[in-house]
Every structure is written in structure tokens, then in C-alpha cells.
Chains A and B, each alone.
Chain A
Amino acid sequence: MKIRATQAIMECLLEQGVDTVFGYPGGTILNIYDELYRYQDRIHHVLTAHEQGAAHAADGYARSTGKVGVCFATSGPGATNLTTGIATAHLDSSPVVFITCNVGENLLGKDAFQEVDSTGIAMPITKATFLVRDAATIPDVMRQAFAVAATGRPGPVLIDFLKNVTAPSQMIDYDFVPWRENRRLESLRSLNASHQLKNPEPNRQDIEKLLEMIGQAKKPFLICGGGVVRGRAHREFGEFAEKLDAPVAITVMGGGGFPGGHSLTTGMIGMHGSRASNVACDECDLLIAVGCRFSDRVALDPATFASQAKIVQIDIDRAEIDKNVLTDHHIIGSARKVLALLNEKMPQYHHDVWKQYILPMRAPSVAAESEVLTPQQILDVIQRQAPKDTMVATDVGQNQMWAIKYLHFNYPGQLLTSGGFGTMGFGLGAAIGAQMGNPDKRVIHITGDGCFRMNCHELCTVEHYHLPIISVVFNNGTLGMVRQWQNLIYDKRFSATTLDRGPDFVKLAEAYGLKGYRVRTRVEMEAALDKALADGCGAVIDCVLDIDEMVRPMVAAGSPITDFLLKEGTT
């Protein structure tokens, strides 16, 4: 069947089951947008205020639904505005297909208007890039892109179409092939031959060896990493943890992989890890990390990290083994498959002595009473009043660490946070994507005053699409996390971190047609959140906090994991 090239692009999206895309139009991508107009009954396009917002939204959509996100942008500045979003998806292994257009073949390389080497820029921050110069290759490229984005360790892919390729006069051969049958096509078979588009089969001997190691361990300790979340392996992980009967620490990316309120949870590990997690890591004799790459925020000092333990890494990506921390044993495979195989053969263990040593170190989870509002109180109120399955998108910095520390996440996709790239401004975009993908759930956006300023123009998207997203701004009038470092390490020289400036976030919310609240006490917070939840429309809650609130505990970068610079508690 001969159809227009742009029509083939839309059909390929439908093949993959795409019904929502995010983006921002422009000169070179006009042909694709013209086609989207014809397909608007089947493909819902969400227009954001800025390409970065669209990129984060597609990312948030992918993380929260487990599907592949799709994001459009035009050439030049459209493509470069995506880059922060692409890098964010790359470092957190989120499957997103980014589609940009470039100038026509006749102008390529001539520094034409809005021309930039998009694939060249995106190369180090994607799993793959495709520059499409021949319309006939569109179906192959689209199918490959989706397969690559979603397979193995997921990640972003960029497709750059030259404008002439998308011209309405370009007619190409196309036959609809549902994505499940895609893999049998020649173009994907050849890719499969060298790159194995199916997840690797875990090695049985490796499984046996780990079971043996577990049998010998007296003080085992588990880390739940982002791989558990991306692989949707939470059930298998939960069963494994309970059978192993060991303390479980959760990394920033692992939030949602293991229930936050579970009796075995020791909370976050690493720089702002709880004392229980970090001491357990230091004293355990067997450390099993699932889907965790031991980033510098977890393994602050690789030389002393879990120095008494045999370290076992379970990961889908061969290249992560021995990258940051040398391991004693590893299993390559998806968290789900590996854990299922382990669960099959593992007996029930009991490590009561070890548990009774580690678990009591956990800090009390109730927020202390005080006259002024504290971060823990805000999160306490959210935890109590918001529905249990509320999705939370955070920004980066103190607000992020507090949210992950004090809120409980129970399923993959419940926590959306930029853990790897640490992108300020990620939260609101991600919240929009999550709400679009999960219309039945509540989405709360946790942000700081610094982060909120970076992307608050997306409030217009929240308003336009009537999204009931509640932005909770931890407004301490400073870049809190940077100030915390300046406080502790830079002798209180607060260089360029004080944000004593506008706008008034309540008025800003109102200007965008949303509800705005300002709260200074716990009681006010309770009332505001109640109202915002009941209203069912977008809202901003501006929470006034003390400028010197800190994230506790804290271990300085590069230090042994139990060398706390700041201890747990409030003093």
C-alpha cells in the first residue's frame, strides 16, 4: 500500500499503541504536525510551553505507565531545548522516542535557518540516533527506534527526519504490522542478531552460586535500585526480600520498587541515606544490589563501600558490572527474571539477630510538632491526606530528598524523580506526563522555589488541559541544597544561592488560572491540601519554610558511608 511518508510515521506510532504524544511545532516539522491534525482523533497531542517541558512530560509519561513516551520538536532550537530532557531520560533509563525534523537535504550542512546537527548533539545522551534521509526507510527506522528504546535497559532514542523526507508528495510502501509481530521483520531480525532485542536469559550457574552465597551469609543486605522499578519487578523483589529476611535499602531511583512502610525497609542509602541503611551497608557480609549501578551518590567512596561484604550485582546491562564498584559475583538479566528464578529455589531464611541490630536504628517517622512549618510536616500531611496511590513527581535538591525520605512509595511509577541527571525543573513536566498517562490517579508535584522558577511556565499546560496537579512548593527562599553545602563545607559563604525575589507564587498560580495557597503552619497546610484535593483543579501550595532547613543525615561526597557530616534528627 502506498501512503504519504508522514502518514507512515503516524501509522507506525499507532502500531506501537501510542495514543498520546507531547511536543512543540515549528518550521521544519510542519508536515508532521499537518499529519497529526488528520490523526487527532487517534493521537492526542499535548502542547507544552517549552520543548524541555514536553521532553520531561514524555519522560514522566513513560516512567509512570511503563510504555514508551513520544515527544516532537522542530529543528535547531527545538532540538537543543530537548537535550536536557533527553539526558534526563538517558541517565534514568527511561524509554522515550524523540522525533525532530531538520532542514531539507538541499540545505543540509549549509548553516541554514534553524539548522543544527541534532543527531550529533544527541549521540552521547541516547541509546541510538537515526538520521532519516530516505522516506522509504521510515517504517524500519520507526520500528527499530521503539524496539531499541524499550528493550533491555530502556532509554531514549532520537529520530531526526530531513524536511524533504516528510514532504506531502513523498509516497512510500507501508503495511501495518502490530508491534508484537514487528520483531519478525527483517530490519529487526538483523538488529536482533547482534544486539539481542530480547532480555538475556540469566545463567543458571550464576543463580546457583548466589543461592549458595546467600546460604552462607549471616548478615545479608539488599539494595533496591532503579532496575526493579523499570523492570516492574516489585512483586518478585518483595518476595525475595521476605524470603531472605534481610534489611532493604532503597536508592533514589528504586523508590516504588519496595514498599516504603515495609517492616524490612531501612529507607534511602548513600549521601542522604538513613543511619540504618548506611550502617547495614558498612557491616553486612553479603550485599545484593538489584538494578543499581552504585553511583557516586550511593557508593560515595568505592574503596570502603561495603568493605566487609561480598558484593553481588544483578543488572540487565553488562557494562554496569564492575564499573563503579568491583563485585564478587554478578548475574546478568532483568530483575524480574533473575528474582523469579531465585525465589523458586530459595528457602525461607531468618536473620533475627542481624535485623534486631539494624532495624531499631531507623529514625521515628512522625513529624515533630513545632510552631513553624517543617518539611517533614508538609510531607506528613500529604502522606495522610492524599490518596494512598498518589503519584509524586519531585524536582531536585532538598525537596527531592525530603519527599523520598518521608513519603512511602508502594509501586513502580509512583515516584518520578530525576535521580541520575538531577534536572531542576523536571518535576512539573513529569507530573503533566504522569497525569496524562494516569487520568484516574492524583498527581502531586513536589518542588522547591528554585526548581519551580525553572519550569513554572508549564502551569499554562496544567490549566489548559484541566489537570488536577497540585504543586507543593518548599519555599525557603534559597537554593536549599546548595546552601546546605555552603553552610557545612564553604564556611557559610552563601554565594548566589539566596532567592530573595519574586514572583509571588500564589499570584502566579492565579495568573495562570489556577488556585494558589500560602501556608505557614501545619494546620494551614492541612486545610490547603484538603481544599486543593477536593477542588479537583490544578493548584499551587506555597509552603513558607525556614531558610536553614537541612536534609539529614548527610555524608559528604567521597567519604566513607558512615562518616556522617550531619546526624539524623533535628539538632
Chain B
Amino acid sequence: MKKEFSMERKRYTLCILVEDIPGVLSQVARLFSRKGYNIESIVSGETDRPGITRISIELLGDELMIDQIAAQCRKLLPVKAVKILDEESCIRREIALIKVRAADRAARDEIIQLVNIFRAKVIDVGKESLTIWVFGSQSKNTALIGMLEDFGILEIAKTGTIAIERGRSTIYDNNKLREEYDYGKNVL
């Protein structure tokens, strides 16, 4: 039987562990552009292991496409492990810094109330503006930004999405999914 691939376009996060060497981020990113896939967001940061960086790439696609790109990623020399995470299997978070217009006291109060409801924080106060820090799922952050639009948003800085698997299993567990790892995951 041919493997059934879901054709539904979903939001996936690809977590890639790479060696921290010059050019590695561009090498990974280029693979996506070469294959014609759009990256929704990309985040790169240190891990608990020295010399190993975790790149989290968020993209919209169907299952076959994600499988393909993961397989291609695994072939890159600096790549140590690749994990495909979909909405059900992981927790996703992002941070946004939002500078919003707060011309008078009333506006300021109203914004602070909103910020409290969303469990965000005011991290800078000026006479005409507030800067807000919000941490959460993409939908929560988008909702807050939507509410703040009424006051006039001056500037937004967002990180991309980072994701981690629910439960005990980690990206270091190589033998969990047969399809993914059994076959010598990175045979060059």
C-alpha cells in the first residue's frame, strides 16, 4: 500500500539541531528556498549542549512536503537531528514587543487593563507611548495586537515561533519513530 499523506495544509514546526558553525543558518534556510517553500518564521538559539544550536522553522504545508524537507535537511552535514512537530504534538510560543500610542491617561489605563487580561507586561512607559511585552501562543499574541490596534500601534518586534514536544520525549531520542530514524537517519 502506498503511504497515505494528508493533503491538508497545516502549520508545522521543524526543529533542527545543528552544529554551531559559520554559515549553517544560511545552509538550512537555502534548502527551503531551493525547494520553493516559504518560511513563516525562523528562530535560532543555543541549546543545553555546547556547540549545538537549535533552529526552529515554522511553515505551512502538507505532510508529504514536510516529510521531504525534513529528509533533505537530515542530509546536510552540520545537521544532527530533525524533528517534525505539528499542532497536536507540541507547545508553541512566541514573544512580541509592541509599542503602542498612549496619548492620555485614559488610554494608558485602558491599555494596562488589556495587558493584565492577556497576562502581558508593560516594559517601558513614555509620555506618549507604552511598550508591551507579550509571551504566548501565536493566536493569543495576535488577539492582543488586534485589541491594541484601536490605540494606534507604532512598532512591533516579534520573535518567530519556538516549539517543544509535549511529554517526556525529546529531540535527542533518536529511535522513537521508525519512519524517521531507523534507517540510519542521516546516511550521507
- Interface residues, chain A, CB within 8 Å of chain B? 119-120, 123-124, 127-128, 131, 148, 151-153, 191, 194-197, 199-201, 203, 311, 316-319, 321-323, 326-328, 332
Contact = CB atoms under 8 A, between A and B. Distances in A.
A120 B23 contact: yes
A322 B183 contact: no
Contacts of A319: 68, 71-72, 74-75
B77 A148 contact: yes
Contact of B187 (A191, A318, A327): A318
A104 B22 CA distance: 17
Interface in B174-188: 182-188
Contacts of A194: 79-81, 186
B188 A197 contact: yes
Q: Classify the interface of chain A: helix, strand, loop or mixed.
A: loop
A195 B3 contact: no
Given A195-B187, A328-B2, A322 B182 contact: no
A196 B77 contact: no
B77 A128 contact: yes
Contacts, number: 79
B55 to A, nearest CB: 15
A127 B75 CA distance: 8
Q: Classify the interface of chain B: helix, strand, loop or mixed.
A: mixed
Contact of A322 (B67, B77, B184): B67
A332 B3 CA distance: 16
Nearest to A148: B188
Given A124-B34, A319-B75, A323-B68, A200 B184 contact: yes
A236 B26 CA distance: 41
Given A196-B187, A327-B2, A119 B23 contact: yes
B2 A123 contact: no
B188 A326 contact: no
B79 to A, nearest CB: 8
Contacts of A148: 77, 188
B183 A318 contact: yes
Contacts of A323: 68, 71
Contacts of A318: 71, 74, 183-185, 187
20 contacts: A119-B23, A120-B26, A124-B31, A131-B23, A148-B188, A151-B187, A153-B188, A194-B80, A195-B186, A195-B188, A196-B185, A196-B186, A196-B187, A318-B71, A318-B74, A318-B184, A319-B75, A327-B2, A332-B183, A332-B187
Residue in A123, A203, A317, A327 with the greatest tally of chain B CB atoms within 10 Å: A123
Contacts of B67: 322
Interface in B47-66: 64
B30 interface: yes
Contacts of A321: 71
A199 B80 CA distance: 18
A203 B183 CA distance: 8
10 closest A-B pairs (Cβ-Cβ)? A319-B71, A200-B184, A152-B188, A332-B183, A128-B77, A195-B186, A196-B184, A152-B187, A194-B80, A326-B2
B7 interface: no
Residue in A120, A197, A318, A326 with the greatest tally of chain B CB atoms within 10 Å: A318
B77 A195 contact: yes
Given A120-B23, A148-B77, A327-B2, A332 B72 contact: no
Nearest to A200: B184
B157 interface: no
A85 B37 CA distance: 27
Contacts of B77: 127-128, 148, 191, 195
A140 to B, nearest CB: 13
Nearest to B34: A124
Contacts of B22: 131
Contacts of B31: 124
